[in-house]
Structure 1
Amino acid sequence: MRRGDIALINQIRPLLRHYIVDHGPLRGLVQGAHEDAFLEQIVESLRRVKFVESVRLRGISSLRANPHSDLFDPIRAAIMYVKEGRDHDEACWLVFLSTLIGKHLHAGWVTTAQIYGALGDRNIWSFQRVQNDPMLFRQWLEAHQAGIQRKVGNHRKYLSLSGTKPHAAGSAVETYVTWVNERGTHKDLFDHALQQANQNPMAAFEILFESMTAVDTFGRTGRFDYLTMIGKVGLASLIPDSPHLIGATGPLAGAHLLFDGDKKSRTSATVLDRKLVELGNAIQVRMDVLEDAVCNWQKNPSNFVPFRG
């Protein structure tokens, strides 16, 4: 374990113990090994957040935005656009595509690159091009899906790349464009939510989380991951207000295990959501970090196993 990780655990552990004194036992952490593994997962999740922050501080090659380059990386490209103060819509679009397709454990962003890069065509599927004619994109996707490598992220393993079928990639893209078009641009969309929320980043997150149900295939996980990344990259002032456990699988099982000692306990998602917010406030950890940590911890509660999928 890295020296910095040990320091973080030593910082969080007493806060966790104070929480237990004030709120009662966390039944999933009765065994010492469970507590250690849980704290290590929190640190691992914090590292992922800090990774995005560290990328923002470094120089980023323009090739990160080129889908025809082996260096293509939609998240780094979005961060580059933010740093350079340009192409806000394109940056948000890249975050959307990265969430829609996901990063494959071994093949990386290859599928996102092939779709965004129109399979090597010089006329890529930029946001402006798709926004101007979503149906053209859907027709292209339907005609070319057989030539696209289906190397998607773990959370998107059931996604169809069809351009015409309902609840598939083409429908997701068209409904996403419609969602953004309600305000005209991504900036207008996010600014409107912040205005409604009196500039409260957490309240704005909740507003957008609910409105994004209009985007096909984006269930609870897709909406949470997309809006969280928009905030982390710096495209809008958004911070998750809660873990949004209703509709969750892994994070909900983790919360059941953490608070009740049983993944199948009958405590409602609403109650567990509130409890995780209280815990996060007590140990000074953001909701996206805690959501990620409980999800990964419940897979192996007595041993720390880093998640790479």
Structure 2
Amino acid sequence: MEATRLEPRTLVNGDMVAIVSPASWPEESVPAWIARQVESWGLHAVIAPHTLDRRGYLAGSDADRAADLNQAIRDPEIRAVIASVGGCGSFRLVPDVDVDALRADPKMLVGYSDITALHQVWNAAGVPTLHGAIAGAHGDHVRRLLMEDADTVVEADRGALSAELTTSGSVEGRLFGGNLEMLARSVGVVDFDVAGGILLLEINRAAGLGMVDRALTQLRYSGALDGVVGVALGSIDQFAGYEDRGWTIVDTLRDHFDALGVPVLGGLPLGHIEDLVTVPLGTAAVLDVDHGRLTVDSPSGD
């Protein structure tokens, strides 16, 4: 995996941030709440025209959602892009993202879950992203990532369900990944460049263990994970108490992780939890399994 080629600059007071809905529509109050949070940091927020549109479960048509996203990418005044919510629909925009404009003027994207599809586009373009959200107890860390050139240190909770999958060792590499299902769906659509990288996984219980198994099998058998050096595993607490013919989520994941044969650190507060920690993707990281810590370099440059 090559080092990140393009670094968005650190934001300063007065910079503009766009709020967009590339996937599902948010509740009406959400974009305004995000705007207030961003403006409390000294930034200016712009809510994209179609952020609150509704077309089934989508925030308006594909064309309108792509137009909002690309306008934010192309506007030199916009220095970062925040997704209002995940849900479903980001994957439909992958072919329409103006990657040339993104490379010409790198800017970070903030989001997680379904937004993983767009993280993959940014990753293929060599531009870092932020996997997470500004809500919750760690919301201010997004400000530090955007404005203070901050590093990120994530401590594992050894009592969490996913901590049962923790192994041993320590590895270094560029962090990439996100939602398991979206990563598997991206195979054959977005280029994977993961050799030497650390795989971040967040898994929500959208279905049973079979979906988890199929997604990991696709990633492994397609060669998408060839060269991965470690796994940083977020919360799987949604699966607590769930079994399928004698197996739990821990059994399913262990079967695949053993086949990868790399260090695994579970118990990380990442994914579909109330107080998730936001981490950069596409930057250098250290997965110190023995000490239960993931450290990620700043995503931006001056």
Q: TM-score, normalised by structure 2?
A: 0.27
Question: Quick check: which one's helix share is greater?
Answer: 1
Greater C-alpha radius of gyration: 1
